[in-house]
């Protein structure tokens, strides 16, 4: 099997296979195949990354031979020789995983320069300043990426060199200045690293290839993969490509562009460029770039000429390429390009990262333009990204104390305390605080802080800087390029216009306007219409499974209906008992020593429960509502403070000492596996009897009768359910007889114990529905407490024991097999039994896809995740049809 695939110069060997070539390599191969101007190069495939680690980070001899052939290909197309002191070939070495991981892995540019070839480059280009600038960039990048030396030491040397000359900008440095700095850099490498900078270009190449493969296992890459659910065994490809230069004077430039607006989705070219610069200058935030189009420049009120104005002919060619690429890939593209002395070169294209708002608009627009089908539009939008649209934005009428205005880099709004480093952001967010990460500029090492933060603010960088791209991908609001903001990270303070923001001060950022405000600003609820409504309509037509909500208050139920819920899949009755007005009666019931005492306390709760159910039924008029009877361990309700015991004593007439003794009798060593769920109903059937009375009385009080589905929790045996069903049916008949009318209802159970899953055939003889309680089923199957697992689960995910946190995404191999088995056995015993899922997994797209394969009838999610579940269910149905 070959590991090297060539592209460019009329060659395209990789077949655009992302699994083999990585995303970048596949797209370079694709651009070459349609005749676009792509600098020639080759890709070392992703399987070699795994082999590199398996063989102790060594390269096989066969690969060295294939790489030599790849270099020969580049030489034949460019007419230059690698290491030639007269007119040297220079290459870039870049990573490229099968999915985009912006900024997470390493890149080396200008590779092939040394003390001899720099002279040849100066002579061949006729520009000594360009040659020595390229060499110092290469040394700095190679020292950082390959040799692991401190990047800051080289930045400091550069700043000292500029200060000595009285310069402010890099562009003021002349050829001799760069030559002097190169000597300083070479000495710095030897002093810091203990050996000279490598002069052999082949040693340079293999060092860079090893560093790119090595960056796959960097801490920042691991964090990014964990956050985004990217498997660690995918590996990265390495792309080696002839360098083209955007820093060869005023007819050269480099830029990053999107074929549509990645923030809003508008069909307009969006991007930035810099004249006389290299690619990293645009994305690193070191220089503030210029706009691509005249319209964008005018809208921003910027003065520097746009590319459309400064380079009209090249821009027109670029616009033609944009349209060609979008038509070819049938998606919005994120493009990197370089102009070398007036000639346009395409360096990269990939499907562009976008906000949820943009994803919706682009998918709907492309379907309506006929570029993709409606089904493809449904599959294009990441369901989890909808979360960005389902939460409040800043109230336009609210008073805003604006401190500074930057670039609106990622939409949305957030308030939180200002923090100035990523470790602090992660620590304070872990304590439950909302934080805003404030940085001069972000780097890939900030990934954990950006993930922890509610929003990101940077003083430098443009709309395509690292902070902007990563924030958009995460759905975090971001304001970048707030140039008048002076940040002192050591002192943990930011200054602007005579005002100060200290660490811990609350600020608000608006990623849609670029404004940064002091204090917290009021918010408004999102309006879900337009493109959202259109796509959701298409999704609802495509999906098979119903989508319900987990809700136990009228407010939750209303939100769920507004988001398209088709009923309630889990109404937890115990949450109703914790309200201050009724907790004393609940405690009175628990501490009672006989049935008479319990019934007296339950009689006080009956009107309250009836009113609760009636309010929820009214919101869900005509839709199914699954009500779980009392489930949690009794200790959760017990009084702990003397004042609480006194309240119960006053209500019951029983002295405090006796109540405390009774509480001690109820103590359990492992309450989660103790006296809870149906075990309460078996020992104290009057509890479930009164709850059933409340449910039926509430249902009969409404004009539009709901369909109550009464769920008995924690059932392990058929007999438990039979006993509880008899209690419920008896209560129903009593209420129906008194009211003189009847309604339909179902009695079923929650499958949350492994035994229940294994004996589902028996249980289905008594149950009219199963709802899989995957929160507890995961705990009882894995033997892991969800409340305590945070201490070790992240390590388990990093070590590959679990692909993802099993409480976030269903453990399909273990818990999933129990669900599948229970569904199969339940249907065999009772054809037509209703099957659903009501754990947190009901809002997780990967878990919903599994539910589709098992053939569940519905999923139930928290109200704000209902739209996510609707879209994920549609995608699961479409994927299943494609496979059928």
Q: Which residues are catalytic?
A: 466, 838
Helix and strand counts by DSSP (H, E) for the chain: 35, 34
Query: Residue 768: phi, psi to the nearest 5?
Result: -95, -10
Query: What is the Cα–Cα distance from 513 to 412, expressed in whole angstroms?
Result: 9
Contact 7, 44 (CB under 8 A): no
Query: What is the Cα–Cα distance from 113 to 135, expressed in whole angstroms?
Result: 6
Query: What is the Cα–Cα distance from 292 to 272, expressed in whole angstroms?
Result: 5
Query: What is the Cα–Cα distance from 681 to 140, expressed in whole angstroms?
Result: 71
| Cα atoms in the 13 Å half-sphere on the side-chain side of 846 | 14
DSSP letters for 457-489: EESS--TTSHHHHHHHHHT--EEE--TT-EEET
Contact 460, 288 (CB under 8 A): yes
Contact 571, 417 (CB under 8 A): no
Residue with tokens 């997470």: 104
Kind and range of the H or E run holding 253: strand 253-258
Give 217-221 contacts, CB < 8 A, sequence gap 24+.
217/53, 218/104, 218/105, 218/106, 220/104, 220/444, 220/445, 220/447, 220/448, 221/101, 221/104, 221/105
Query: What is the Cα–Cα distance from 148 to 206, expressed in whole angstroms?
Result: 15
CA distances, 772 to each of 345, 384, 734, 815, 837 (Å)? 55, 22, 30, 10, 5
DSSP letters for 64-118: HHHHHHHHHHHHHHHS-EET-SSSEE-EEEEEEESS--TTTS-EEEEET--TTHH
Contact 363, 373 (CB under 8 A): no
Axis crossing angle, helix 128-145 with helix 117-125, rounded to the nearest 10: 140
Query: What is the Cα–Cα distance from 215 to 206, expressed in whole angstroms?
Result: 14
DSSP 440: S
3-class SS letters over 256-286? EEECCCCCCCCCCCEEEEEECCCHHHHHCCC
Contact 3, 45 (CB under 8 A): yes
Query: What is the Cα–Cα distance from 695 to 706, expressed in whole angstroms?
Result: 10
261 in the Ramachandran plot: left (φ > 0), alpha (ψ -120 to 50) or beta? beta
DSSP 712: E
Coil, strand, or helix at residue 296? helix
Query: What is the Cα–Cα distance from 285 to 514, expressed in whole angstroms?
Result: 16
Contact 243, 39 (CB under 8 A): yes
Output the six-digit token pair for 638: 């017990």
Contact 506, 434 (CB under 8 A): no
> Exposed, middle or buried by CB within 10 Å (0-12, 13-18, 19+), for 430?
exposed
Which of these, 652, 735, 648, lies nearest to 689 by C-alpha position? Answer: 735
How open is the CA angle 556-558-561, to the nearest 5 degrees? Answer: 110
Which of these, 322, 286, 280, 287, lies nearest to 304 by C-alpha position? Answer: 287
22 in the Ramachandran plot: left (φ > 0), alpha (ψ -120 to 50) or beta? left
Query: What is the Cα–Cα distance from 78 to 197, expressed in whole angstroms?
Result: 27
């Amino acid at each position: 099997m070959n590991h090297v695939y060539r592209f460019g110069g009329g060659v395209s060997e990789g077949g655009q296979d992302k699994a083999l070539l990585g995303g970048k390599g596949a797209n370079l191969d694709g651009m070459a195949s349609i005749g676009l101007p792509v600098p020639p190069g080759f890709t070392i495939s992703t399987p070699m990354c795994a082999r590199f680690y398996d063989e102790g980070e060594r390269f096989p001899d066969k690969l060295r031979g294939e790489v030599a052939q790849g270099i020969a290909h580049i030489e034949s197309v460019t007419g230059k020789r690698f290491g030639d002191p007269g007119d040297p070939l220079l290459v870039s070495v870049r990573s490229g995983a099968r999915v985009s991981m912006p900024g997470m892995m390493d890149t080396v540019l200008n590779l092939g320069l040394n003390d001899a070839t720099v002279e040849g480059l100066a002579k061949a280009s006729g520009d000594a300043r360009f040659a020595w600038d390229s060499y110092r960039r290469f040394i700095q990048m190679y020292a950082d990426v390959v040799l692991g030396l401190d990047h800051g030491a080289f930045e400091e040397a550069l700043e000292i060199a500029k200060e000595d000359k009285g310069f402010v900008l890099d562009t003021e440095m002349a050829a001799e200045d760069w030559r002097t700095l190169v000597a300083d850099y070479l000495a710095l490498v030897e002093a810091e690293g203990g050996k000279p900078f490598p002069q052999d270009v082949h040693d340079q190449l293999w060092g860079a290839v090893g560093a790119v493969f090595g960056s796959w296992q960097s801490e920042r890459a691991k964090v990014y993969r964990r956050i985004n659910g990217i498997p660690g065994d995918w590996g990265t490809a390495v792309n080696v490509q002839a360098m083209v230069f955007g820093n060869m004077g005023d007819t050269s430039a480099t830029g990053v562009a999107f074929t549509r607006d990645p923030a809003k989705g508008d069909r307009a070219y969006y991007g930035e460029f810099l004249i006389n610069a290299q690619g990293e200058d645009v994305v690193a935030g070191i220089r503030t770039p210029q706009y691509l189009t005249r319209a964008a420049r005018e809208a921003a009120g910027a003065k520097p000429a746009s590319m459309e104005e400064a380079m009209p002919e090249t821009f027109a060619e670029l616009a033609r390429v944009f349209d060609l690429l979008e038509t070819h890939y049938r998606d919005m593209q994120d493009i990197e390009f370089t102009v070398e002395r007036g000639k346009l070169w395409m360096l990269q294209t990939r499907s562009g990262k976008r906000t949820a708002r943009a994803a919706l608009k682009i998918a709907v627009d492309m379907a309506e333009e006929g570029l993709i089908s409606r089904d493809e539009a449904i599959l294009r939008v990441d369901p989890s990204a909808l979360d960005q649209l389902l939460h409040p934005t800043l109230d336009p009428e609210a008073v805003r104390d604006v401190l500074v205005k930057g670039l609106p880099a990622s939409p949305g709004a957030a308030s939180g305390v200002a923090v100035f480093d990523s470790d602090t952001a992660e620590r304070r967010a872990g304590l439950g605080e909302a934080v805003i990460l404030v940085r001069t500029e972000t780097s890939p090492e900030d990934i954990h802080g950006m993930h922890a933060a509610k929003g990101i603010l940077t003083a430098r960088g443009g709309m395509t800087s690292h902070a902007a791209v990563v924030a958009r991908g995460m759905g975090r609001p971001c304001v970048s390029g707030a140039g008048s903001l002076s940040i002192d990270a050591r002192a943990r303070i930011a200054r602007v216009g005579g005002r100060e923001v200290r660490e811990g001060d609350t600020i608000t950022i608006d990623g849609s306007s670029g404004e940064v405000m002091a204090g917290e600003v009021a918010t408004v609820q999102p309006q879900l219409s337009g493109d959202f409504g259109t796509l959701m309509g298409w999704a609802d037509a495509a999906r098979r499974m119903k989508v319900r909500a987990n809700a136990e208050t009228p407010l939750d139920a209303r939100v769920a209906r507004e988001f398209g819920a088709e009923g309630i899949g889990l109404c937890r009755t115990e949450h109703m008992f914790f309200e201050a007005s009724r907790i004393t009666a609940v405690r009175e019931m628990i501490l009672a020593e006989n049935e008479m005492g319990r019934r007296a306390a339950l009689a006080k709760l009956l009107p309250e429960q009836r009113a609760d159910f009636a309010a929820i039924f009214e919101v869900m008029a005509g839709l199914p509502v699954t009500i779980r009877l009392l489930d949690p361990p009794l200790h959760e309700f017990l009084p702990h403070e003397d004042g609480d015991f006194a309240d119960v004593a006053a209500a019951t007439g029983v002295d405090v000492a006796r109540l405390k003794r009774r509480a001690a009798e109820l103590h359990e060593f492992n309450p989660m596996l103790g006296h809870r769920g149906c075990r309460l109903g078996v020992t104290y059937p009057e509890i479930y009897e009164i709850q059933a009375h409340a449910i039926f009385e509430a249902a009969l009080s409404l004009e539009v009768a709901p369909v109550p589905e009464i769920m008995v929790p924690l059932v392990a045996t058929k007999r438990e359910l039979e006993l509880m069903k008899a209690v419920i049916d008896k209560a129903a008949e009593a209420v129906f007889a008194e009211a003189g009318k009847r309604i339909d209802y179902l009695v079923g159970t929650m499958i949350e114990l492994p035994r229940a899953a294994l004996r589902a055939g028996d249980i289905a003889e008594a149950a009219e529905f199963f709802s899989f309680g995957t929160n507890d089923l995961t705990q009882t199957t894995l033997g892991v407490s969800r409340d305590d697992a945070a201490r070790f689960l992240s390590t388990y995910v990093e070590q590959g024991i679990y692909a993802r946190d099993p409480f976030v995404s269903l453990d399909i191999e273990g818990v999933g097999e129990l669900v599948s088995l229970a569904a199969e056995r339940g249907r065999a015993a009772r054809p037509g039994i209703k099957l659903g899922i009501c754990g947190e997994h009901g809002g997780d797209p990967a878990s919903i896809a599994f539910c589709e394969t098992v053939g569940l009838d519905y999923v139930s999610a928290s109200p704000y995740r209902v739209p996510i579940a609707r879209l994920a269910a549609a995608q699961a149905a479409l994927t299943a049809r494609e496979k059928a």
